[in-house]
A = this chain, B = another copy of it.
Amino acid sequence: MKFSRLFVPTLREDPAEAEVISHKLMVRAGLIRKLASGIYTYLPLGLRVLRKVENIIREEMNRAGAQEILMPAVQPGELWEESGRWEVYGKELLRFKDRHARDYCLAPTHEEVVTDLVRREVRSYRDMPLNFYQIQTKFRDEIRPRFGLMRGREFGMKDAYSFDADEAGAERSYHAMFEAYTRIFKRCGLDFTPVEADSGAIGGSFSHEFMVLAETGEDAIVNCPGCGYAANTEKAELTPPAEAPASRDDVRSREKVLTENMRTVEEVTAFLNVRSRDLIKTLIYQTDDGPLAVLVRGDHEVNEIKLKNILGGLKSELAGPDLIEQSTGAPVGFAGPVGLDARILADYGVKTLAQAVAGANEADYHFTNLVPERDFTVDGYYDLRVAQAGDSCPRCGAGLDIKRGIEVGHVFKLGTKYSQAMQATFLDAQGKDRLIVMGCYGIGTGRTAAAAVEQNHDDSGIIWPIPLAPFEVVVLPLQIRDEDVRRAAEDLYRALLDLGLDVLLDDRDERAGVKFKDADLIGIPLRLAVSRKTLAQNQAEFKERRENELRFFDLGQAPQKIKDIRDRLAMET
């Protein structure tokens, strides 16, 4: 492709509203343009990247035995009523009426439609396993769309749905998708990790998220360098500390100390000269059964998903200042477990404290020298906190790392949630009617492209992994009006095309600086520049986008050398 025939409106300035690097760079490099909040047009270069992501996904889904179909974006409300989601799905489900005043929605996901298809066509256990996927446009009416393609309203997604006759079959389908996803993100050239995840609102019994690792990622992930255990921090299990509690027999009696206006962990620990891990944070929640206190160490954070799971159906919400004062007798910042009239749950970490500090339930006072079970009792010790770097791995006990990541894929075991609600049944080998066991599997296509940018960029722009790059090589004639330079560049361009590379020739009549800047911004992984100076040596100047080193290749050898480099880089991914 010649640059002069390609619409690539690059920008020198970051768009004002862009908060994250992928959004900034994808707009600046001329890949996308915003139409409305959370709604983007893919320009030619952006679409090339999207298609590369889609093709890798398609090949691996087909290889895993999934069958591609294409389901509608506009769906009748009746099906969503059958599944029960018409009522419970929030405002993200864009509902509307057609000209005949019938209810429809713009689909955020396709469980209903695919379950309806399968219940009509599948009769027997012999018709399964089945796995249908599509690459299609979804709509979620996010309250605050942002981050460009990372959290849009209209977005591309590969969604797959598996149908099996029993749990064992569903496990196999889940495993096949897990493997396919691993191959997909590997082939995309991304550094990623699958993590155990909470299955959230889609429901189902078990799930993994595929996280592209990037410092700018929205999600925190725990990772065990020992055994490879990885989980969303929301999900990561923590075991009770193995260490025996320090001897607490000789701890002095508790003491009430004046901590005037000291409300935060930082203020109290600095004033009393204690470590934050020796302080007990006391959080008050409002529940239908009255106030609830949750205790964690000062250096820990409450994990509200774990709390929710422990409380079962009981809804809890952080209490406001009024309820705190009413429950503890003190203003915000001085709550503690001693003498507190509330149900008290404590994290395992609190149990082993020997000489702790906590609020005294009295304005401007804290207790010191607290010993759990001596100075206060709790209604139970649980895993109640967010995992941190250095925590023990629940599998092998090694110290956990924390990384940041971007969720690009999600695999769910759905079980019979939808087949039950929508009566998707089959006849088993004994002629008995049974519910189909389902799984669902999603990959955000545009999000994967954006995550690749978050993971691969520098101050000059994007650095595409070879498999996702809009072009693999760019050839830059630095003086296009010089006939020798132009001809040498075109010869190299054709030779590279003939070797099967995806090549861009920057044939614009622009200064060398502009061409270098655009090539770097767009992020083409391999660059070959031809100038009067290099031609005098019968050479061209080669540079990998990711490296600083310049190399000079003889003109005749350059194409094959670049092909070898491309092949090596593509293998490494």
Interface residues of A (CB under 8 A from B): 5-7, 9, 33, 35-36, 39-44, 47, 50, 65, 67-76, 91-92, 94, 96, 98-99, 104, 106, 113, 116-117, 120-121, 130, 132, 137, 139, 141, 143, 153-154
Contact = CB atoms under 8 A, between A and B. Distances in A.
A72 B113 contact: no
Contact of A73 (B65, B73, B92, B143): B73
Among A70, A130, A132, the one with the most B-chain Cβ atoms within 10 Å of its Cβ is A70
Copies of this chain in the oligomer: 2
Given A36-B76, A40-B72, 6 more contacts: A5-B67, A7-B130, A33-B117, A35-B76, A36-B75, A73-B73
A479 to B, nearest CB: 20
B99 A141 contact: yes
Contact of A41 (B42, B71, B76, B137): B71
B99 A70 contact: no
Contacts of A130: 7
Given A74-B139, A153-B74, A68 B96 contact: no
Nearest to A9: B121
B50 A70 contact: yes
Nearest to A44: B67
B47 A69 contact: yes
B98 A141 contact: yes
A26 B35 CA distance: 36
Contacts of A74: 36, 39, 106, 139, 153-154
Contacts of A96: 94, 96
Contact of A70 (B41, B69, B141): B41
Contacts of A106: 74, 106
A72 B156 CA distance: 10
A316 B284 CA distance: 76
A148 B43 CA distance: 32
Nearest to A62: B1
A99 B42 contact: no
Nearest to A43: B69
A42 B70 contact: yes
A4 to B, nearest CB: 10
A143 B35 contact: no
A86 to B, nearest CB: 15
A41 B72 contact: yes
Contacts of A36: 72, 74-76, 104
Contacts of A94: 96, 98-99
Nearest to A71: B41
A130 B8 CA distance: 12
